Amino acid sequence: MRLSRYFLPVLKENPSEAQIVSHRLMLRAGMIKQAQAGIYSWLPLGFKVLRKLENIVHEEQIRAGHIPMLMPTLQSADLWRESGRYDDYGEEMLRITDRHGRDMLFGPTNEELITDIFRGHVSSYKDLPLTLYHIQWKFRDEIRPRFGVMRGREFLMKDGYNFDLTKEDALHSYNRHLVSYIRTYERMGLQAIPMRADSGPIGGDDTHEFLVLAETGESEVFYDSKVTDIRLGEREINYDSVEQCRAVMEEFTSLYARTDETHDEAVFNQIPEERRRSARGIEVGQIFYFGTKYSDPMGATVQGPDGKPVPVHMGSHGIGVSRLIGAIIEASHDDKGIIWPEGVTPFHCGIVNLKQGDAEADAACDQLYAALTAIGLEPLYDDTNERAGGKFATMDLIGLPWRITVGPRGLKNGVVELTSRKTGESVELSPEEAVKKVAEIYAPHHPHLAREEPMAGRSFHTWL
Protein backbone atom coordinates (compact mmCIF):
# COMPACT_ATOMS: atom_id res chain seq x y z
CA MET A 1 0.00 0.00 0.00
CA ARG A 2 1.18 3.47 -0.82
CA LEU A 3 0.46 5.86 2.00
CA SER A 4 -0.57 8.60 -0.47
CA ARG A 5 -3.47 6.37 -1.55
CA TYR A 6 -4.37 4.95 1.87
CA PHE A 7 -6.74 6.24 4.53
CA LEU A 8 -4.72 6.65 7.69
CA PRO A 9 -6.14 9.56 9.69
CA VAL A 10 -3.44 9.79 12.40
CA LEU A 11 -3.89 12.32 15.19
CA LYS A 12 -1.01 14.52 16.33
CA GLU A 13 -2.54 15.31 19.69
CA ASN A 14 -3.55 12.95 22.45
CA PRO A 15 -7.33 12.59 22.45
CA SER A 16 -8.65 13.72 25.81
CA GLU A 17 -11.34 11.05 26.09
CA ALA A 18 -8.86 8.17 26.22
CA GLN A 19 -7.77 7.08 29.69
CA ILE A 20 -5.48 4.18 28.86
CA VAL A 21 -2.60 3.88 26.46
CA SER A 22 -4.13 1.32 24.08
CA HIS A 23 -7.23 3.42 23.55
CA ARG A 24 -5.12 6.54 23.06
CA LEU A 25 -2.82 4.83 20.55
CA MET A 26 -5.67 3.21 18.60
CA LEU A 27 -7.29 6.63 18.16
CA ARG A 28 -4.00 8.36 17.34
CA ALA A 29 -2.96 5.67 14.85
CA GLY A 30 -6.27 6.07 13.01
CA MET A 31 -7.43 2.53 13.76
CA ILE A 32 -10.88 3.24 15.17
CA LYS A 33 -13.41 6.00 15.48
CA GLN A 34 -16.10 6.07 18.10
CA ALA A 35 -19.60 5.99 16.62
CA GLN A 36 -21.47 5.95 19.94
CA ALA A 37 -20.46 5.07 23.48
CA GLY A 38 -18.87 1.63 23.29
CA ILE A 39 -19.47 1.30 19.53
CA TYR A 40 -16.68 1.84 17.03
CA SER A 41 -16.03 2.04 13.33
CA TRP A 42 -12.96 0.09 12.37
CA LEU A 43 -10.89 2.31 10.09
CA PRO A 44 -8.65 0.53 7.55
CA LEU A 45 -5.62 0.03 9.79
CA GLY A 46 -7.69 -1.25 12.73
CA PHE A 47 -9.76 -3.45 10.44
CA LYS A 48 -6.60 -5.02 9.05
CA VAL A 49 -5.38 -6.01 12.51
CA LEU A 50 -8.83 -7.29 13.44
CA ARG A 51 -8.82 -9.52 10.34
CA LYS A 52 -5.32 -10.79 11.19
CA LEU A 53 -6.49 -11.81 14.65
CA GLU A 54 -9.59 -13.47 13.21
CA ASN A 55 -7.38 -15.36 10.80
CA ILE A 56 -5.17 -16.71 13.60
CA VAL A 57 -8.25 -17.70 15.59
CA HIS A 58 -9.71 -19.54 12.59
CA GLU A 59 -6.45 -21.33 11.82
CA GLU A 60 -6.05 -22.54 15.39
CA GLN A 61 -9.70 -23.56 15.75
CA ILE A 62 -9.60 -25.52 12.53
CA ARG A 63 -6.31 -27.11 13.59
CA ALA A 64 -8.08 -28.30 16.76
CA GLY A 65 -10.86 -29.87 14.68
CA HIS A 66 -13.54 -27.25 15.34
CA ILE A 67 -15.92 -26.29 12.55
CA PRO A 68 -16.53 -22.66 11.47
CA MET A 69 -20.02 -21.34 10.73
CA LEU A 70 -21.93 -18.09 11.16
CA MET A 71 -25.01 -17.35 13.24
CA PRO A 72 -26.96 -14.07 13.06
CA THR A 73 -26.56 -11.16 15.44
CA LEU A 74 -30.33 -10.89 16.04
CA GLN A 75 -32.00 -13.70 17.91
CA SER A 76 -35.53 -14.62 18.90
CA ALA A 77 -36.52 -13.96 22.51
CA ASP A 78 -38.50 -17.21 22.55
CA LEU A 79 -35.36 -19.32 22.51
CA TRP A 80 -34.06 -17.45 25.52
CA ARG A 81 -37.38 -17.97 27.30
CA GLU A 82 -36.87 -21.71 26.83
CA SER A 83 -33.53 -21.66 28.60
CA GLY A 84 -34.85 -19.29 31.23
CA ARG A 85 -32.22 -16.67 30.49
CA TYR A 86 -34.49 -14.06 28.86
CA ASP A 87 -35.48 -12.70 32.24
CA ASP A 88 -32.24 -13.56 34.02
CA TYR A 89 -29.90 -11.72 31.69
CA GLY A 90 -30.98 -8.28 32.81
CA GLU A 91 -30.21 -4.85 31.42
CA GLU A 92 -27.10 -5.87 29.55
CA MET A 93 -29.30 -7.45 26.90
CA LEU A 94 -30.47 -5.16 24.12
CA ARG A 95 -34.09 -6.03 23.47
CA ILE A 96 -35.77 -5.12 20.20
CA THR A 97 -39.32 -5.49 18.89
CA ASP A 98 -39.98 -5.95 15.19
CA ARG A 99 -42.95 -4.51 13.24
CA HIS A 100 -45.06 -7.55 14.07
CA GLY A 101 -44.51 -7.06 17.76
CA ARG A 102 -42.15 -10.04 18.05
CA ASP A 103 -39.52 -9.82 20.75
CA MET A 104 -35.96 -10.09 19.53
CA LEU A 105 -32.57 -9.38 21.00
CA PHE A 106 -29.08 -8.56 19.82
CA GLY A 107 -27.13 -11.64 20.86
CA PRO A 108 -24.77 -11.22 23.83
CA THR A 109 -23.76 -14.90 23.39
CA ASN A 110 -25.14 -17.90 21.51
CA GLU A 111 -25.75 -20.94 23.71
CA GLU A 112 -29.50 -20.99 22.99
CA LEU A 113 -29.20 -20.53 19.22
CA ILE A 114 -26.55 -23.20 18.79
CA THR A 115 -28.51 -25.62 20.99
CA ASP A 116 -31.54 -25.03 18.77
CA ILE A 117 -29.49 -25.78 15.65
CA PHE A 118 -28.09 -28.89 17.28
CA ARG A 119 -31.43 -30.33 18.39
CA GLY A 120 -32.89 -29.72 14.94
CA HIS A 121 -30.22 -31.72 13.14
CA VAL A 122 -28.38 -34.13 15.39
CA SER A 123 -30.14 -37.15 16.80
CA SER A 124 -27.58 -39.92 17.27
CA TYR A 125 -24.55 -40.33 19.50
CA LYS A 126 -22.74 -41.41 16.33
CA ASP A 127 -22.67 -37.76 15.21
CA LEU A 128 -20.71 -36.78 18.30
CA PRO A 129 -18.34 -35.30 19.25
CA LEU A 130 -19.09 -32.01 17.53
CA THR A 131 -17.66 -28.54 18.07
CA LEU A 132 -19.06 -25.60 16.11
CA TYR A 133 -17.90 -22.02 16.38
CA HIS A 134 -18.25 -18.63 14.79
CA ILE A 135 -16.73 -15.18 14.98
CA GLN A 136 -19.54 -12.69 15.23
CA TRP A 137 -20.41 -9.30 16.70
CA LYS A 138 -22.01 -9.35 20.11
CA PHE A 139 -23.87 -6.62 21.93
CA ARG A 140 -23.91 -6.16 25.67
CA ASP A 141 -25.33 -2.93 26.99
CA GLU A 142 -22.45 -2.49 29.44
CA ILE A 143 -23.25 0.00 32.16
CA ARG A 144 -19.86 1.64 31.76
CA PRO A 145 -18.34 1.09 28.32
CA ARG A 146 -14.76 2.34 28.54
CA PHE A 147 -11.16 1.96 27.51
CA GLY A 148 -12.05 1.87 23.82
CA VAL A 149 -12.43 -1.62 22.38
CA MET A 150 -11.52 -3.19 25.73
CA ARG A 151 -14.99 -2.80 27.13
CA GLY A 152 -17.23 -1.98 24.22
CA ARG A 153 -20.94 -2.51 23.93
CA GLU A 154 -20.60 -3.94 20.42
CA PHE A 155 -17.59 -6.25 20.24
CA LEU A 156 -16.26 -9.12 18.18
CA MET A 157 -16.11 -12.51 19.84
CA LYS A 158 -15.18 -15.98 18.77
CA ASP A 159 -17.59 -18.30 20.50
CA GLY A 160 -17.49 -22.05 20.17
CA TYR A 161 -19.73 -24.80 21.51
CA ASN A 162 -18.94 -28.46 22.04
CA PHE A 163 -21.47 -31.28 22.12
CA ASP A 164 -20.38 -34.56 23.66
CA LEU A 165 -22.01 -37.78 24.79
CA THR A 166 -20.38 -37.97 28.20
CA LYS A 167 -18.87 -35.70 30.76
CA GLU A 168 -15.51 -37.33 30.10
CA ASP A 169 -15.70 -36.49 26.40
CA ALA A 170 -16.79 -32.95 27.20
CA LEU A 171 -13.78 -32.51 29.48
CA HIS A 172 -11.54 -33.53 26.59
CA SER A 173 -13.23 -30.82 24.52
CA TYR A 174 -12.54 -28.41 27.37
CA ASN A 175 -8.86 -29.32 27.43
CA ARG A 176 -8.62 -29.15 23.65
CA HIS A 177 -9.98 -25.62 23.76
CA LEU A 178 -7.53 -24.68 26.48
CA VAL A 179 -4.59 -25.87 24.37
CA SER A 180 -5.85 -24.21 21.19
CA TYR A 181 -6.41 -20.93 23.04
CA ILE A 182 -2.89 -20.86 24.47
CA ARG A 183 -1.53 -21.46 21.01
CA THR A 184 -3.72 -18.70 19.59
CA TYR A 185 -2.51 -16.13 22.11
CA GLU A 186 1.13 -17.12 21.71
CA ARG A 187 0.85 -16.62 17.94
CA MET A 188 -0.40 -13.12 18.69
CA GLY A 189 2.73 -12.46 20.72
CA LEU A 190 0.83 -12.61 24.01
CA GLN A 191 1.07 -14.55 27.20
CA ALA A 192 -2.45 -15.20 28.47
CA ILE A 193 -2.50 -17.23 31.67
CA PRO A 194 -5.41 -19.60 32.29
CA MET A 195 -6.83 -18.81 35.72
CA ARG A 196 -9.54 -20.56 37.67
CA ALA A 197 -12.58 -18.31 37.55
CA ASP A 198 -16.22 -17.93 38.40
CA SER A 199 -18.81 -18.99 35.84
CA GLY A 200 -21.20 -15.98 36.06
CA PRO A 201 -24.44 -15.99 34.01
CA ILE A 202 -23.22 -18.71 31.60
CA GLY A 203 -23.30 -21.16 34.54
CA GLY A 204 -21.27 -24.30 34.98
CA ASP A 205 -18.75 -26.20 37.03
CA ASP A 206 -15.43 -25.87 35.27
CA THR A 207 -14.16 -22.62 33.91
CA HIS A 208 -10.90 -20.84 33.25
CA GLU A 209 -10.36 -17.29 32.17
CA PHE A 210 -7.30 -16.33 30.14
CA LEU A 211 -5.62 -13.23 31.45
CA VAL A 212 -2.98 -10.96 30.00
CA LEU A 213 -1.14 -9.27 32.83
CA ALA A 214 -1.39 -5.46 32.55
CA GLU A 215 -1.68 -2.64 35.03
CA THR A 216 -4.74 -1.32 33.25
CA GLY A 217 -6.55 -4.67 33.44
CA GLU A 218 -9.97 -4.68 35.07
CA SER A 219 -9.53 -8.04 36.80
CA GLU A 220 -7.68 -8.61 40.03
CA VAL A 221 -5.58 -11.77 39.87
CA PHE A 222 -3.40 -13.84 42.17
CA TYR A 223 -0.77 -16.28 40.96
CA ASP A 224 2.41 -18.19 41.53
CA SER A 225 5.12 -16.38 39.53
CA LYS A 226 6.34 -19.72 38.17
CA VAL A 227 3.25 -19.88 35.98
CA THR A 228 4.67 -17.08 33.83
CA ASP A 229 7.57 -19.30 32.78
CA ILE A 230 5.40 -21.83 30.95
CA ARG A 231 5.11 -21.66 27.15
CA LEU A 232 3.52 -23.98 24.65
CA GLY A 233 5.96 -22.95 21.92
CA GLU A 234 6.30 -25.06 18.81
CA ARG A 235 5.16 -28.33 20.40
CA GLU A 236 3.20 -30.59 18.09
CA ILE A 237 -0.11 -31.41 19.75
CA ASN A 238 -2.42 -34.15 18.60
CA TYR A 239 -5.79 -32.65 19.45
CA ASP A 240 -7.45 -36.06 19.31
CA SER A 241 -5.20 -37.35 22.06
CA VAL A 242 -6.99 -37.18 25.41
CA GLU A 243 -3.68 -37.71 27.25
CA GLN A 244 -1.76 -35.01 25.39
CA CYS A 245 -4.44 -32.36 25.84
CA ARG A 246 -4.89 -33.27 29.50
CA ALA A 247 -1.14 -33.10 30.09
CA VAL A 248 -0.95 -29.57 28.67
CA MET A 249 -4.01 -28.52 30.68
CA GLU A 250 -2.42 -29.85 33.86
CA GLU A 251 0.90 -28.23 33.10
CA PHE A 252 -0.74 -24.83 32.63
CA THR A 253 -3.27 -25.01 35.46
CA SER A 254 -1.56 -26.85 38.33
CA LEU A 255 0.21 -23.82 39.74
CA TYR A 256 -1.91 -21.32 41.63
CA ALA A 257 -3.52 -18.76 39.31
CA ARG A 258 -6.95 -17.38 40.11
CA THR A 259 -9.13 -14.34 39.65
CA ASP A 260 -10.43 -12.55 42.72
CA GLU A 261 -13.78 -14.39 42.65
CA THR A 262 -12.15 -17.76 43.32
CA HIS A 263 -9.09 -16.52 45.19
CA ASP A 264 -8.39 -18.49 48.38
CA GLU A 265 -6.01 -16.75 50.75
CA ALA A 266 -5.18 -19.94 52.66
CA VAL A 267 -4.13 -21.85 49.55
CA PHE A 268 -2.33 -18.80 48.17
CA ASN A 269 -0.28 -18.48 51.34
CA GLN A 270 1.14 -21.96 50.84
CA ILE A 271 3.12 -20.67 47.85
CA PRO A 272 6.65 -19.60 48.88
CA GLU A 273 6.38 -15.89 49.62
CA GLU A 274 8.83 -14.73 46.95
CA ARG A 275 6.65 -16.33 44.27
CA ARG A 276 3.30 -14.90 45.43
CA ARG A 277 1.98 -12.27 43.07
CA SER A 278 -1.13 -10.14 43.03
CA ALA A 279 -1.65 -8.07 39.92
CA ARG A 280 -4.15 -6.82 37.35
CA GLY A 281 -5.11 -8.62 34.19
CA ILE A 282 -7.15 -8.26 31.00
CA GLU A 283 -9.55 -11.12 30.34
CA VAL A 284 -9.08 -12.14 26.71
CA GLY A 285 -10.99 -15.43 26.78
CA GLN A 286 -12.88 -17.92 28.85
CA ILE A 287 -13.75 -21.60 28.57
CA PHE A 288 -16.65 -23.38 30.28
CA TYR A 289 -17.87 -26.87 30.83
CA PHE A 290 -21.51 -26.71 31.89
CA GLY A 291 -22.83 -30.21 31.36
CA THR A 292 -26.54 -30.35 30.51
CA LYS A 293 -27.49 -26.84 31.65
CA TYR A 294 -28.90 -25.95 28.19
CA SER A 295 -29.49 -29.38 26.68
CA ASP A 296 -31.82 -30.37 29.53
CA PRO A 297 -34.35 -27.50 29.39
CA MET A 298 -34.09 -27.20 25.61
CA GLY A 299 -34.41 -30.91 24.90
CA ALA A 300 -31.10 -31.34 23.11
CA THR A 301 -30.77 -35.10 23.36
CA VAL A 302 -29.25 -37.81 21.21
CA GLN A 303 -30.07 -41.45 20.99
CA GLY A 304 -27.40 -43.19 23.05
CA PRO A 305 -25.74 -46.55 22.22
CA ASP A 306 -28.52 -48.33 24.14
CA GLY A 307 -31.25 -46.59 22.14
CA LYS A 308 -32.32 -44.33 25.02
CA PRO A 309 -32.29 -40.52 24.68
CA VAL A 310 -29.52 -38.76 26.62
CA PRO A 311 -29.00 -35.01 27.01
CA VAL A 312 -25.68 -33.93 25.53
CA HIS A 313 -22.84 -32.51 27.59
CA MET A 314 -21.87 -29.07 26.44
CA GLY A 315 -19.32 -26.38 26.94
CA SER A 316 -18.83 -22.91 25.50
CA HIS A 317 -15.62 -21.10 24.82
CA GLY A 318 -15.02 -17.46 23.96
CA ILE A 319 -12.17 -15.31 22.73
CA GLY A 320 -12.52 -11.53 22.86
CA VAL A 321 -11.18 -10.81 19.39
CA SER A 322 -11.67 -7.02 19.37
CA ARG A 323 -10.57 -6.67 23.02
CA LEU A 324 -7.37 -8.52 22.14
CA ILE A 325 -6.18 -5.59 20.04
CA GLY A 326 -6.28 -3.40 23.12
CA ALA A 327 -4.56 -6.10 25.17
CA ILE A 328 -1.77 -6.51 22.62
CA ILE A 329 -1.12 -2.77 22.59
CA GLU A 330 -1.15 -2.58 26.39
CA ALA A 331 1.49 -5.31 26.39
CA SER A 332 3.56 -3.92 23.51
CA HIS A 333 4.14 -0.19 23.09
CA ASP A 334 6.55 2.57 24.05
CA ASP A 335 6.23 6.34 24.33
CA LYS A 336 6.40 6.73 20.54
CA GLY A 337 3.55 4.38 19.77
CA ILE A 338 2.49 0.82 19.13
CA ILE A 339 4.97 -2.04 18.60
CA TRP A 340 3.11 -4.82 16.76
CA PRO A 341 4.21 -8.39 17.29
CA GLU A 342 5.15 -9.84 13.91
CA GLY A 343 2.22 -12.28 13.92
CA VAL A 344 -0.43 -9.56 13.91
CA THR A 345 1.12 -6.48 12.32
CA PRO A 346 -1.15 -4.72 9.79
CA PHE A 347 1.75 -4.27 7.34
CA HIS A 348 4.92 -6.29 7.50
CA CYS A 349 7.33 -3.50 6.78
CA GLY A 350 7.36 0.26 6.29
CA ILE A 351 9.30 1.91 3.49
CA VAL A 352 10.34 5.49 4.13
CA ASN A 353 11.56 7.55 1.21
CA LEU A 354 13.74 10.34 2.63
CA LYS A 355 13.67 12.35 -0.58
CA GLN A 356 10.45 11.95 -2.44
CA GLY A 357 10.87 13.17 -6.00
CA ASP A 358 14.54 12.20 -6.22
CA ALA A 359 14.62 9.91 -9.25
CA GLU A 360 17.00 7.39 -7.72
CA ALA A 361 15.31 7.23 -4.31
CA ASP A 362 11.88 6.90 -5.91
CA ALA A 363 13.08 4.08 -8.18
CA ALA A 364 14.75 2.23 -5.29
CA CYS A 365 11.56 2.46 -3.21
CA ASP A 366 9.44 1.24 -6.11
CA GLN A 367 11.76 -1.73 -6.55
CA LEU A 368 11.69 -2.59 -2.86
CA TYR A 369 7.93 -2.32 -2.87
CA ALA A 370 7.64 -4.62 -5.87
CA ALA A 371 10.11 -7.16 -4.47
CA LEU A 372 8.39 -7.38 -1.06
CA THR A 373 4.96 -7.62 -2.67
CA ALA A 374 6.13 -10.33 -5.08
CA ILE A 375 7.04 -12.64 -2.20
CA GLY A 376 3.69 -12.15 -0.52
CA LEU A 377 4.56 -9.47 2.03
CA GLU A 378 2.62 -6.26 2.48
CA PRO A 379 4.76 -3.15 2.74
CA LEU A 380 3.42 0.29 3.61
CA TYR A 381 5.35 2.79 1.51
CA ASP A 382 5.36 6.36 2.75
CA ASP A 383 5.53 8.09 -0.62
CA THR A 384 4.18 11.40 0.66
CA ASN A 385 6.03 14.71 0.65
CA GLU A 386 6.12 14.88 4.44
CA ARG A 387 9.54 15.64 5.92
CA ALA A 388 11.61 12.73 7.20
CA GLY A 389 10.91 13.42 10.89
CA GLY A 390 7.17 13.31 10.31
CA LYS A 391 7.44 10.08 8.33
CA PHE A 392 9.41 8.42 11.11
CA ALA A 393 6.95 9.61 13.73
CA THR A 394 4.01 8.12 11.82
CA MET A 395 5.81 4.80 11.31
CA ASP A 396 6.69 4.66 15.01
CA LEU A 397 3.14 5.53 16.01
CA ILE A 398 1.49 2.84 13.86
CA GLY A 399 4.08 0.36 15.08
CA LEU A 400 5.19 -1.69 12.07
CA PRO A 401 7.92 -4.02 13.39
CA TRP A 402 10.38 -3.24 10.55
CA ARG A 403 11.18 -0.14 8.53
CA ILE A 404 13.38 0.26 5.48
CA THR A 405 14.70 3.77 5.05
CA VAL A 406 15.82 4.85 1.59
CA GLY A 407 17.79 8.04 0.87
CA PRO A 408 20.09 9.40 -1.81
CA ARG A 409 23.14 9.29 0.48
CA GLY A 410 22.79 5.57 1.29
CA LEU A 411 21.99 4.70 -2.29
CA LYS A 412 25.34 6.22 -3.40
CA ASN A 413 26.94 3.41 -1.36
CA GLY A 414 24.39 0.87 -2.55
CA VAL A 415 22.64 0.55 0.83
CA VAL A 416 19.32 1.13 2.56
CA GLU A 417 18.69 0.98 6.30
CA LEU A 418 16.65 -1.73 8.01
CA THR A 419 15.40 -0.69 11.46
CA SER A 420 13.69 -2.68 14.18
CA ARG A 421 10.79 -0.83 15.78
CA LYS A 422 11.30 -2.69 19.03
CA THR A 423 15.01 -2.14 19.62
CA GLY A 424 15.56 0.90 17.40
CA GLU A 425 18.65 -0.82 16.00
CA SER A 426 19.50 -0.29 12.35
CA VAL A 427 21.64 -2.17 9.86
CA GLU A 428 22.79 -1.06 6.44
CA LEU A 429 22.11 -3.59 3.72
CA SER A 430 21.77 -3.70 -0.03
CA PRO A 431 18.10 -3.48 -1.06
CA GLU A 432 18.17 -7.17 -2.09
CA GLU A 433 19.59 -8.21 1.28
CA ALA A 434 17.00 -6.11 3.08
CA VAL A 435 14.17 -7.90 1.26
CA LYS A 436 15.74 -11.26 2.02
CA LYS A 437 16.12 -10.40 5.68
CA VAL A 438 12.50 -9.26 6.02
CA ALA A 439 11.32 -12.45 4.29
CA GLU A 440 13.36 -14.53 6.77
CA ILE A 441 11.89 -12.67 9.72
CA TYR A 442 8.33 -13.42 8.62
CA ALA A 443 8.91 -16.98 7.43
CA PRO A 444 7.70 -18.54 10.73
CA HIS A 445 4.42 -16.62 10.40
CA HIS A 446 3.95 -17.36 6.70
CA PRO A 447 5.47 -20.78 5.99
CA HIS A 448 4.94 -20.34 2.24
CA LEU A 449 7.55 -17.55 2.30
CA ALA A 450 10.18 -20.03 3.39
CA ARG A 451 9.20 -22.26 0.48
CA GLU A 452 9.43 -19.24 -1.82
CA GLU A 453 5.91 -19.77 -3.06
CA PRO A 454 4.18 -16.55 -3.96
CA MET A 455 1.08 -15.79 -1.93
CA ALA A 456 -0.66 -14.17 -4.90
CA GLY A 457 -4.38 -14.75 -4.84
CA ARG A 458 -4.42 -15.96 -1.24
CA SER A 459 -7.00 -14.11 0.76
CA PHE A 460 -7.84 -14.28 4.42
CA HIS A 461 -10.71 -16.58 3.50
CA THR A 462 -8.53 -19.51 2.54
CA TRP A 463 -9.03 -21.24 5.92
CA LEU A 464 -12.65 -21.95 5.08
> Whole-number minimum distance, CB 357 to Mg ion, in Å?
53
CB contact at 8 A, 19 and 146: yes
CB contact at 8 A, 142 and 94: no
Phi, psi of 414, rounded to the nearest 5 degrees? 75, 20
Give the CA count within 13 Å in the CB-facing half-sphere of 146: 8
Instruction: Return the residues of window 271-310 that contact Mg ion according to CB under 5 A.
Output: 286
Number of residues that bind ligand ATP (CB under 6 A): 16
Number of residues that bind Mg ion (CB under 5 A): 1
Q: Which residues contact 222 (CB under 8 A, 6 or more apart)?
A: 256, 257, 258, 259, 260, 263, 268, 276, 277, 278
Contacting residue, 61, 115, 191, 286, with ligand ATP by CB under 6 A:
286
Select the span of 14-22, 71-79, 277-285, 358-366 touching ligand ATP (CB under 6 A).
Answer: 277-285
Contacting residue, 129, 148, 194, 320, with ligand ATP by CB under 6 A:
320
Which string of DSSP letters, residue by residue, matches 82-146? Answer: HHTHHHHTGGGSEEEE-TT--EEEE-S--HHHHHHHHHHH--BGGG-SEEEEEEEEEE---SS-B
Instruction: Check residue 152 for interaction with ligand ATP (CB under 6 A).
Output: yes
> Whole-number minimum distance, CB 286 to ligand ATP, in Å?
4
- Rounded to whole angstroms, the Cα distance separating 12 from 6 reads 18
Q: Which does 421 bind (CB under 5 to 8 A by kind): Mg ion, ligand ATP, none?
A: none
> Whole-number minimum distance, CB 71 to Mg ion, in Å?
19
CB contact at 8 A, 328 and 341: yes
Contacting residue, 46, 148, 318, 401, with ligand ATP by CB under 6 A:
318
Contacting residue, 293, 323, 391, 421, with ligand ATP by CB under 6 A:
323
For residue 221, the one-letter residue type is: V
- Rounded to whole angstroms, the Cα distance separating 3 from 397 reads 14
Q: Which is nearer to Mg ion, 314 or 418 (CB)?
A: 314
Q: Which is nearer to ligand ATP, 155 or 347 (CB)?
A: 155
Instruction: Check residue 180 for interaction with Mg ion (CB under 5 A).
Output: no
Q: Which of 441, 438, 350, 439 is nearest to 397 (CA)?
A: 350
Q: Which is nearer to ligand ATP, 142 or 428 (CB)?
A: 142
Tell me which residues touch ligand ATP (CB under 6 A): 109, 140, 142, 151-152, 155, 157, 200, 283-286, 318, 320, 322-323
Tell me which residues touch Mg ion (CB under 5 A): 286
